Chain A
């Protein structure tokens, strides 16, 4: 469910999943990005690059519908995006299976076995999440993407604390997701070994602008 601003307009082409034009977004009442435009086709991986603080996370949160855009258009089908944040959203007292089953039920998916298999979590299935290592937690967080059944993965630094083998697992998951007609939007600093287009946000840094003041949150 898109919470803000993601209008469904008839401009999306056959293969296009998302089209963004002239998007500006703000964080903490300060405009960080402006003039962002790109389109995402089925099967495409788009890597977001740019220095720390440029607004990669803000862009992803805006696209996911967690915050409204300052200006610009996002054309995307409703319920197309799933957002993978820095935090994995795991409950430490639940087991790997219980964590994954919860999200599967929320998204109306019944089978979690492919997700466990894709991220090599089968042996850990009955472990409580607080007994997992940081990398294993991350893998579980990424396995959640597979039970959402959403077309577009908007991922924020998905490979943090993953080892080389797990990064390869992740790249495989993205590849098969794209082969099945999905697409991914990934903010990352490392080389994932994927066939991908790059969107460098360095040139989109927002200039100073006057934003609404104190009441901004209530408009």
Chain B
């Protein structure tokens, strides 16, 4: 299963692999928002947690349809499904690879982009914490969505429509934990809810996604 992770990481790093796509999109969103809002630093600081979380979420969404579509097209998915590794493990590794190439870079880059949005100083630590806790959930939910739409031509639109509502709880608790933290309030409850969502989807969704793929491969 480690082999699957290494292969996916390697593919993402090679030309055309899509590494950096999410990061570039995140950068563009965050750079453009201050221009759109205008020179109102107080307002920017207030909306910064929400903007950063929405940006990270959309950046994650951008690369989801590649998770299984490419493997399906070149026949690797058939071969992986008949290989002596559990498909659940393959799915989990693919989700992990997606997080390592999308969620993790976003988490690391976010504090630097927070400066552009005039984020309150107390928020920087919480920004990293909430994204680190929340983005794995985005990758695992997205992998499930990708499994549902594998084999569909132009499944990207359907994938976005299916996944966005599932992303909403993560977004609400993530942005809320960040906002409360940035304003200096106690944010333990939304943070625990966020961690609970992440732990739950990591435990459950690989099994659901693997079952979905088996049906889609028939």
Measuring CB to CB, which residues of chain A are less than 8 angstroms from any residue of chain B?
A: 1, 3, 61, 64-68, 79, 81-83, 85-94, 98, 102-103, 105-108, 144, 217-218
Which residues of A sit under 8 angstroms from B74, Cβ to Cβ? Answer: 87-92
| B82 adjacent to A102 (CB under 8 Å) | no
Which residues of B sit under 8 angstroms from A1, Cβ to Cβ? Answer: 82-86
Other A-B pairs beyond A89-B78, A108-B84, 10, CB < 8 Å: A66-B78, A66-B81, A90-B74, A92-B74, A93-B14, A94-B7, A98-B10, A106-B4, A106-B80, A217-B215
When C-beta atoms are compared, the residue in chain B nearest to A87 turns out to be: B75
Kindly state whether residue B16 has any CB partner on chain A within 8 Å: yes
| B11 adjacent to A94 (CB under 8 Å) | yes
Binary CB contact string for chain B from 1 to 40 against chain A (1 if under 8 A, 0 otherwise): 0111011001100111100000000000000000000000
B84: which of A64, A102, A107, A218 is its contact (CB, 8 Å)?
Answer: A107
Which residues of A sit under 8 angstroms from B6, Cβ to Cβ? Answer: 102
A102-B6 Cα distance, complex, nearest whole Å? 9
Which residues of B sit under 8 angstroms from A93, Cβ to Cβ? Answer: 11, 14-17
Given known pairs A93-B16, A94-B10, the reply for A83 and B78 (CB within 8 Å) is yes
Interface residues of B in 63-97 (CB under 8 A from A): 73-76, 78-86
Which residues of B sit under 8 angstroms from A106, Cβ to Cβ? Answer: 3-4, 80, 83-85
CB-CB nearest 7 A-B residue pairs: A87-B75, A105-B3, A93-B14, A89-B76, A89-B75, A67-B218, A89-B79
Measuring CB to CB, which residues of chain B are less than 8 angstroms from any residue of chain A?
A: 2-4, 6-7, 10-11, 14-17, 73-76, 78-86, 214-215, 217-218
Which residues of A sit under 8 angstroms from B16, Cβ to Cβ? Answer: 93
Main secondary structure of the interface of A (DSSP, over half): loop
A205-B75 Cα distance, complex, nearest whole Å? 27
Main secondary structure of the interface of B (DSSP, over half): helix
* Distance (whole angstroms) from the CB of A159 to the closest CB of chain B: 17
Which residues of B sit under 8 angstroms from A83, Cβ to Cβ? Answer: 78-79, 82
Interface centre among B2, B82, B215 (most CB of A within 10 A): B82
Chosen A-B contacts, 22 in total, with CB atoms closer than 8 Å, are A1-B86, A64-B82, A65-B82, A66-B78, A66-B218, A67-B217, A82-B82, A85-B79, A87-B74, A89-B78, A91-B74, A92-B74, A94-B7, A94-B10, A94-B11, A98-B7, A102-B6, A103-B83, A105-B3, A107-B84, A144-B79, A218-B215
When C-beta atoms are compared, the residue in chain A nearest to B218 turns out to be: A67
Which residues of B sit under 8 angstroms from A217, Cβ to Cβ? Answer: 215, 218
A103-B17 Cα distance, complex, nearest whole Å? 20
B81: which of A3, A79, A81, A86 is its contact (CB, 8 Å)?
Answer: A3
| B11 adjacent to A91 (CB under 8 Å) | yes
* Distance (whole angstroms) from the CB of B140 to the closest CB of chain A: 22
| A91 adjacent to B76 (CB under 8 Å) | yes
Which residues of B sit under 8 angstroms from A79, Cβ to Cβ? Answer: 84
When C-beta atoms are compared, the residue in chain A nearest to B79 turns out to be: A89
When C-beta atoms are compared, the residue in chain B nearest to A84 turns out to be: B79
A102-B23 Cα distance, complex, nearest whole Å? 28
When C-beta atoms are compared, the residue in chain A nearest to B76 turns out to be: A89
A88-B6 Cα distance, complex, nearest whole Å? 20
A65-B15 Cα distance, complex, nearest whole Å? 34
A17-B134 Cα distance, complex, nearest whole Å? 49
